Structure 1
Amino acid sequence: MLRVFIVFHLLVLLLQGAALASDDLSGTLKGIQKKYGGLPGFSIPYTREVITRSMSMLGNQVKGDLATGQMFYKPPHFLRLEQKIPEAETIITNGDSLWWYIPGKKRAYQYPSQEFGKELRLLSDIFHGLMRVEETFHVAMLGPDKQGEIRIELRPNPPWQEVDRIILTVIKGYNIRMIGIHNQLGGITRFTLKNLIVKDKFEKGFFQFIAPEGVELIKKEGKLQSQIESGVSSQ
């Protein structure tokens, strides 16, 4: 369903809601940690767009494949993503296992934690406030985009085979507006986020998966990332 789960959070605010400071990376990271690191949990609507290299060369003239849904997070590593459009799919992880459920096919896949993609682990770290981001990434503040919103670039250190860089776009109050994952081939997976809703509690079993009657559960030991991407491309 996606090249999923990626990165978040940025920016320092001057005084009472004034313009974002673009010259204080350290202060920005601290602001993000304060904004997200102490939350008990939250949900956030998203739109995901997958843009190929050829599409990106055409700029805004061509739109990529779109999907919409809702993300749920509870620290330190509970994550649930519910895609609604174009087809219903759910990805759930409790830190030990990951489940990928496709209701339309009456099929679900279960993966061990060691097969989690790096992007999934990174997203969890981001939602936890980017506590140690500079230990595994080169971090740089970029200039503002066309809307004047600040951007932060994360380049994996050491390099990743799949991902070249991640760009976070942030608005006032350290709210993440967009997450762009740039792969080594020039393609982009872009998440646009809406308003975050803080959640103190989730119902029991929310971050577990029990196969409904009639659904086949397949336990996999192969590479999670390639399995998910091949499934997405076939839909």
Structure 2
Amino acid sequence: MLKKLISACALMLPLSLQAGPVEELEMLLSGHESAQADFVQFSLNEGGNRAEESNGHFVVQRPNRFRWVTETPFEQQIISDGQYIWVYDPDLEQVTRKPADQQGNSAPAMILNGQIQTLGKDFAISKIDEDASGVALFELVPREPENSTFTRIRLLFEQGRITELSMQDSLGQRSMLVLDGLEYDPELPDGVFDFVPPEGVDVILDQGF
């Protein structure tokens, strides 16, 4: 009887109280096939002020397709069609192509694609704050700092939706990615992840070795 009572009480608890931080983060990020949002990305100087700010929008679709478009201050498109990643710089009239599996070591890419179990192999994941309004803050710290680009990543959620990524690299430099208008499982146009190099641009083939 006691075991049944404990089990029943556990089922009545909020899911966030039953799951550990890795499982909870995975539930927050892995429950959808696709997502799109506008973004503002910037670095923070020593005084905590914004620097090198850029704006744009992105679309991601699991498992490994995305379109990341920076609009200002300089236009750039980064597109993964599942087989290749294309980086197109219109101002340089240049396209770089590399294998899509080369994104695998990118923590931000794995976060937006919901690959939390894979990420958990390289990062210790913890929840460091949560309040009654639905705001939660997660922190990722590399298990082997000497082999990681980042020394700390923080993810801010509001009402179950990710709104900010904060990253600090091994040199102490901090950058922020702020999302706006995040939409899960939007209706995507055909060919949104296709890319054909425009005529006249230089195409560089990066084998990723």
After TM superposition, the score normalised by the length of structure 2 is 0.78
State the Cα distance separating 1:180 from its structure 2 match. 1.0
Which residue among 82, 85, 97 is the counterpart of 1:110?
A: 97
Residue 38 of structure 1 aligns with an amino acid whose one-letter code is G
Separation (CA, whole Å) in 2 of partners of 1:210 and 1:108: 10
The verdict on how the C-alpha distance between 1:28 and 1:155 changes in structure 2, with shifts beyond 3 A counting, is: closer
The verdict on how the C-alpha distance between 1:30 and 1:183 changes in structure 2, with shifts beyond 3 A counting, is: same
State the Cα distance separating 1:80 from its structure 2 match. 1.2
Which residue among 60, 75, 88 is the counterpart of 1:88?
A: 75
Equivalent pairs: percent with the same residue?
A: 22
Question: Does the 8 Å contact 1:25/1:141 carry over to 2?
Answer: no
C-alpha RMSD of the superposition = 2.9
Which residue among 101, 105, 114 is the counterpart of 1:129?
A: 114
Which residue among 94, 99, 106 is the counterpart of 2:86?
A: 99
RCO higher in structure (CA 8 A, sep ≥6): 1
2:47 match: 58
After TM superposition, the score normalised by the length of structure 1 is 0.70
The verdict on how the C-alpha distance between 1:138 and 1:31 changes in structure 2, with shifts beyond 3 A counting, is: closer
- Unaligned residue ranges in structure 2 (runs of 5+): 1-12
SS of corresponding position for 1:64? strand
Stretches (4+) displaced over 6 A = none
Which residue among 211, 215, 218 is the counterpart of 2:204?
A: 218
- Unaligned residue ranges in structure 1 (runs of 5+): 1-13, 16-20, 224-235
CA displacement, residues 125-169 of structure 1 (integer Å, 9 cap, x when unaligned): 323434414333111222469x99432110122333421111111
Name the structure with the higher strand share.
2
SS of corresponding position for 1:116? helix
Structure with the greater alpha carbon radius of gyration: 2
Residue 179 of structure 1 aligns with an amino acid whose one-letter code is L
Q: 1:70-219 counterparts in 2 under 5 A? A: 70-116=57-103, 118-119=105-106, 122-132=107-117, 133-143=119-129, 149-159=135-145, 160-172=147-159, 174-219=160-205
1:39 match: 32
Question: Does the 8 Å contact 2:41/2:54 carry over to 1?
Answer: yes
